[in-house]
Structure 1
């Protein structure tokens, strides 16, 4: 039998805070925070705690009762996971930042409707039925509206745990019916200690690349696309000689998620603006020389930030990936030129 999962050390404080509100737990909890900090693991731990049948439990699921055994075996009758169809299941100790192969990147209205029987029927073992919605921000409009109807009039005993990286993309009406519970980034010393214990080489750099999220940093260190990102940054660091069409062809061949590449570019622009306005680099300290060279033009990139944000919102839609990259990179070069540069970087 699988052992009861333990919380990551940086989530212990949040767990204790949540336990202090145990008498006032809502029927819908929305877990937010940066990708790669363990939100899904936290949600799974909470789900097991709710379904644990040990009446004496105080701070953690017992791991040995019938409820825990069913849960750990992956077939508890009062637990469901609502996620993009055909997404690979993740073990509770895996990070939501890890890219899983899947046929769909959105939760569809059919998926929500299929949940109706589970939510409305009586619980099999106790009075509680737990639904984990992850990533909740991948619900399309129709799915979100269908899910909202369930939240508006929740059946007795139905509990929903939503997990979202970009929680503001959820319908305001869904957010208003959930208790938003943010999970914070860990202290850098705690994250470094954990990464060192797991054998990550140069943990400080990988933490920087992921904005301080330790699980994402572990994935970053082991990613197969590190050489692709290195080449991408090398080329955008020299906008005067950047061959946009060639770079986009290389990205297209790499078969990476659109959202991933947009995130690389967002972090690069963030560092350019931050260095130009505040003298600080957050994500790419290993690219300080190139960033310093381009930082004086940071004010010219303010409007470009909005274009990147809009592109990321649409990154899960079936758009032509290569055209998305071309539009963004040509706009990047144009933004650095500025209105008075007359076509020169």
Structure 2
């Protein structure tokens, strides 16, 4: 952990700590993946546990509370994350895994014991849940009971990339704090400072999220994405079975490939209907060749959204890729078949 944060988070921090004495017992931090929400949440947690806060409303970084927090062993802090992401940092928040990571009810039960104990330092207790939408149904219901009768002196900080997936009853008991995607110039400058050669392009690929763009620039699968986009850019020669086999052999996450296809279809539709491209400006010429068929893809795009929700389920991966690619081809021909995985 660190007591610093990304430069674009400064306005959000000022807004957050304005009147911090009146912070709610439960805060829901929302926004796009890859913009630093977890870092902001950690900074707030450290601030609440700091024993010598600075006049500018930042944690001192030097007191016992800060040192323990930064070392990851503060006795009055708990971080709850999916079981197979317990070591993931903010830079990984946009990454996906083959198996759906979940926060299970056992973790919530351990929290119940934690929040009802007297604070070790006699001050605040802080619970950080990230991403909150990873709670399964049993965990979410158990967590809701804690929010309904919050223990005194405990602050719950929830971070969510898809907050609408949370139970409405959980959302209603939190103050929602949206974090905006940073301005493109600010994000590009930060990426350039981290050695990214073409920050504007990588920001486009990730919808403007700088941490996701940094991952994008460093990803080992960049040649695989380029090859995949080359295949779908030339539908007349697309070998569905061969491409699906290549993707499966590469052991790529299903959700990652769905994301590539979803962004491609989004750009095709946007270019055809409004002349704009969001994600793949470096593929403009290829998109333009297909844009006249954009109207055929509207139903397919809706199906892709459902496919993305199902991407972590233990389905036969090659069949999923085949179904998606056949669906793409048929949608381009004006014969939508959906994106089912049967």
Shorter chain as denominator, the TM-score bin is over 0.9
What is the aligned partner in structure 1 of residue 195 from structure 2? Answer: 199
* Deviation at residue 101 of structure 1 after TM alignment: 7.2
Residue aligning to 1:297: 293
- 1:218 paired residue number: 214
Residue 12 to residue 56, structure 1, CA distance change in 2 (3 Å): closer
Q: CA deviation at 1:293?
A: 1.0
CA contact (8 A) 1:120 1:155 kept: yes
Q: CA deviation at 1:77?
A: 0.6
User: Superposition pairs for residues 254-265 of structure 1, below 5 Å?
Assistant: 254-265=250-261
Q: State whether residues 85 and 104 of structure 1, in contact with CA within 8 Å, keep that contact through their aligned partners in structure 2.
A: no
CA positional deviation for 1:326: 2.0
**Distance verdict in 2 for CA 1:294–1:100, change over 3 Å:** closer
SS of the aligned residue for 1:115 comes to: helix
Structure 1's 321 and 69: CA in aligned 2 closer, same or farther, altered over 3 A?
Answer: same
In the alignment, which of 38, 43, 46 is matched to residue 44 of structure 2? 46
Report the TM-score, using the length of structure 1 for normalisation: 0.92
2-structure distance, mates of 1:86, 1:158: 26
Match 2:76 to one of 75, 78, 101? 78
TM-score under structure 2 length normalisation: 0.93
- Counterpart CA distance in 2 for 1:284 and 1:175 is 34
Matched, 1:126 2:122: yes
Deviation at 1:207, TM superposition (A): 0.9
Structure 2, gaps ≥5 residues long: 337-342
Residue 9 of structure 1 corresponds to which residue in structure 2? 7
Matched residue pairs, number? 336
- 2: CA distance, partners of 1:114 / 1:304: 43
Equivalent pair of 1:31/1:163 in contact (CA under 8 Å): yes
Sort the Cα spacing of 1:100 and 1:129 in 2 relative to 1 into closer, same or farther, 3 A.
Answer: farther
Hey, what does 1:249 align to over in structure 2?
245
1:30 corresponds to: 28
Could you tell me how far 1:239 is from its partner in structure 2? 1.6
Let me know the Cα RMSD of the aligned residues: 1.9
CA distance in 2, matches of 1:228, 1:328: 17
Secondary structure in 1 matching 2:27 = strand
Spell out the pairing of 1:1-345 with structure 2 (5 A cutoff).
4-54=2-52, 57-91=55-89, 94-97=90-93, 99=95, 105-339=101-335
Q: 1:215 to 1:30 in 2, by over 3 A?
A: same
